[in-house]
Amino acid sequence: MNLAVVGHVEWVEFVRVERVPQPGEIVHAIETWEEAAGGGAVAAVQLAKLNGSAHLFTSLGDDELGRRSRQELEERGVTLHVTAAGAPQRRAFTYVDERGERTITVLGPKLLPSGGDGSLPWEELARCEAVYFVSGDVAAVRAARRSRVLVATARELATLRRAEEEIDVLVGSGEDASERVEPGTLEPPPRTVVTTSGALGGWVRPGGPFRAAPLPAPIEDAYGCGDCFAAGLTFALAQGRSMEDAVQVGARCGAAVMTGRGAYTAQLEGLV
């Protein structure tokens, strides 16, 4: 299948600690690591692992971290289409505590892919069975809408509102006030709204509640859980599965990634 993600990339430095420091406190790292991550990257790699390939329309910095991000994501099976940012690669600093919870600080502006960048093959999105929109400009939303199925994150409500395109599935976290979607938030309204609630599962509107997937191992790191959920859901919808099946595939992807270090080590592969 042809699958794509439109979204941003961050170079993330992870620091594992017993607990996140209080103001003025010093804590000692148990371990550290770095990798290219961020919502667009995490979702694209998850789709590539499920599907065998995936496109990522993104923007990367014109510095060493931007080049390292490109190389790493290509090595992970992602085909990149990159808008030149003309700026340093966006970075992030992420604490992971003893419970596996992640606390993120981003450094620098989000580098957004532009649908007006004529050097990118935006026409590829019209040939995609499904696209997951993580971030980008209004023109990027409209290009993504040309796919058969468009899934989008509720983190970008302002951009989606300006684009005035119908979203097939809008995915948001019920635990984040900025991602809650009330009737009338978007016009036209999304056909389906999926709200996740961690270990409680979530809710599909219209539809009803769904259960969280069982964890295949102890929790290691919650980073990337939400975007892996959305990627799994996108993959299942591209296969033509029902919404009920799709949220369960997403839940399995979200649960799996929580049991590995960082964004990629425990992502599901070759799901059928």
Residue 16: pLDDT over 90: yes
| pLDDT of 185 | 84
Calculate the alpha carbon distances from 26 to 4, 18, 21, 242, 269 in Å: 42, 12, 6, 49, 39
User: What share of the chain in percent tops pLDDT 70?
Assistant: 99
CB burial readout 172-209, b (16+ within 10 A) else e: bbeeeeebebeeeebeeebebbbbbeeeebbbbeeeee
- Strands 3-6, 130-133: pairing is parallel
Q: Which domains does the chain have, with CATH numbers?
A: 3-22+29-257 (3.40.1190.20)
| Res 175: pLDDT | 72
Sign, CA dihedral 146-245-229-74, equals negative
Q: Quote the mean pLDDT of the chain.
A: 94
**Lowest model confidence (mean pLDDT) among 49-53, 72-76, 237-241, 268-272:** 268-272
In terms of phi and psi (left: phi > 0; alpha: psi -120 to 50; beta: otherwise), the region of 229 is alpha
The CA-based dihedral angle spanning residues 253, 195, 166, 263, taken in that order and rounded to the nearest 10 degrees: -30
Residue-wise pLDDT for 34-83, tens only, equals 999 999 999 999 999 999 999 999 999 999 999 999 999 999 999 999 98
pLDDT in tens, 158-210: 999 999 999 999 999 877 667 777 777 899 999 999 999 888 899 999 989 99
Do residues 9 and 73 touch, judged by C-beta distance below 8 A? yes
Give the residue-averaged pLDDT of 253-261: 95
pLDDT score recorded for residue 42: 98
Q: pTM for this one?
A: 0.94
Q: How far is Cα 219 from Cα 127, in angstroms, rounded to an integer?
A: 37
Can you give the pLDDT at residue 272? 60
Q: What is the pLDDT of residue 23?
A: 93
Q: In a 3-state reduction of DSSP, which class is residue 155?
A: helix
Mean pLDDT of 130-144: 97
Nearest by Cα to 8 from 111, 133, 130:
111
In this predicted structure, what is the pLDDT of residue 86? 87
Query: What is the model's pLDDT at position 197?
Result: 86
Tell me the helices (H) and strands (E) count for the chain, helix number first: 6, 13
Phi, psi of 24 (to 5 degrees): 85, -5
The sheet carrying 31-37 orders its strands as 31-37, 10-16, 91-96, 102-107
For the chain, percent of residues with pLDDT exceeding 90 = 89
Q: Which residue has the higher pLDDT, 232 or 86?
A: 232
Mean pLDDT (whole number) for 217-229: 94
